[in-house]
Amino acid sequence: MQKFIILLLLFLSSSAFSAKKDSIVERIFNEIYNQHYSQAEKMLRSNQENIDSVFFVVLSVDLSYWKNVTGTNTPDYQSFENHIQDLSPINPASTTHQAIRMVTLSYQLRYELKRFKLMKAISTRQETKELFTSFKTNVKLPPEQLELFQLYSALFKYFDNYLKPFFISRKKENCSAALATMTRLFQSENRISKTLVAYFLGKTWLKYENEPIKAYPYFVWLNKNYPDNQKFYDLLQTCNNQLNQ
C-alpha cells in the first residue's frame, strides 16, 4: 500500500550512489515488475555489495511481497512475514536504520490491510506515523528528490485518512488532496517513481475509491511497460469488466 519502495527512493540522493549502481537498481526493479522473480533474486544477491543498504532492503522486501503476496496465485504469507521480521531493525537509532524500519513498516501496513488484520494495521500505522514525522523533520532533500518525498507523503496522507472514521472532519478532502498530488506526480520522467505512482493510483481508484474509469489509464500504462506482469494484465481486465457492466 505505501509500497515503500517509495520511501527509499528518497535515498537516491545518497553520495554512495553512482550512475552504475542506480542502473543496477533499475534493472532489478524491472525484473521484479515483470515478475521474473528468479532472475531478480539472482541479480540482487550477486550485486548486494554494489547496492546501498537501504535500497537493498527496498528491493528485497518488494521482491518478497510480489513473490509471496500480491503477484502470485499461491501466496506464502508466512515466508513474507519472516522476511519482514528478518530485515526490520529493532530500536533503530541511525538515519539508515530508521529508513529501513520505515520501509518494513510500510510494507507491513500494506500487508495487514490486504489481509484485513485491522487491529494490527492500526498499531503499525501509529508507529509508522511517529517515525515518519520524526524522519521528515530531520532530512533535507535536494530538489530532484523532492517529488519522491511528495509521493511518499501523499500515500501516507491518503491511507492515514482512509483509516479514520468516516465522520472525522476533512477526511474526504485530505484523501482527495493526496490523490491530486499523486496524479501530478505521474508526469515524472523517473521510470521507477512513475511505475509506483501508476500502480498505487490504479489500485486506489479501483479498490478504495470504486472508480474503475479513473484506474483504467494507469493499468494500460503498466501493462504496456511491463508486458510480462500478469497482475497488471488482470487488473486491466478487471477495469474493463467493470466498465462494460
Interval 146-164: pLDDT, tens: 666 677 678 778 877 776 7
The gap from C-alpha 206 to its chain's centroid, in whole angstroms, comes to 16
DSSP reduced 3-state for 14:
coil
Closest CA to 162 of 211, 110, 197, 115: 110
User: Residues of the chain whose pLDDT is less than 70?
Assistant: 1-22, 135-149, 152, 163, 166-167
Structure pTM? 0.82
Q: Which domains does the chain have, with CATH numbers?
A: 5-243 (1.25.40)
Q: CA 132 to CA 7: how far, in whole Å?
A: 10
Q: Which pLDDT value is given to residue 147? A: 63
What is the structure's pLDDT at 186? 93
pLDDT value of position 6: 41
Tell me 182's DSSP state.
H
Cell, residue 71: 503477484
The pLDDT, as a whole number, for residue 138 is 56
Q: How many whole angstroms separate alpha carbon 128 and alpha carbon 7? A: 12
Distance CA 21, CA 170 (A): 42
